Structure 1
Amino acid sequence: MSEKVDKGIEVCYWKLSYRRKLIRTLWMIPVLIMINIAFYKAFPAYSYARIIGVILFLPVFIQAAYNYKKWKNETAQEEDVKY
């Protein structure tokens, strides 16, 4: 495994630390809200807009929870190594 990037600019998602992955995932939430609003305006009478919203948001929230959990485990392991 290569060293994970926690500072500076990194384009590749898989090279980021879990903290940076969490930050990038949280930045995607406003983008998904705008996409969901666009679908709702394009298809106002259909329930497809709501279904698409759930399909878009559910994986992002699962990913955010996973990255948060892994980040906290990673920091706890680093603190154990220090002491």
Structure 2
Amino acid sequence: MVKKIDGEYFLSRTEAMEYITFAYDVKWCVTKWERNLIRINYETRLGRGSGKFTAFRCKNSSNVRLNKFDIDKHFSLVN
């Protein structure tokens, strides 16, 4: 479930992949751990690309989350 903390939305890795696929007309995307970051590889109609995003861990949760603002910022520059 998407979490809203201090006015910002945080998505789990699965939610981030679903959001990217539908919001930005991406054919496919996958996530991968790289040190303390999560790399998202994807393919759009313009070609393939990737981006690195900071992983956040919320209190009382073992799952990491991605900031929705960071995802939107990255894909606004790509498109």
Normalized per residue, the structure richer in strand is 2
Q: TM-score, normalised by structure 2?
A: 0.26
Larger Rg: 1
Q: Which has the higher contact order (CA 8 A, sep 6+)?
A: 1
Instruction: Give TM-score scaled by structure 1 length.
Output: 0.25
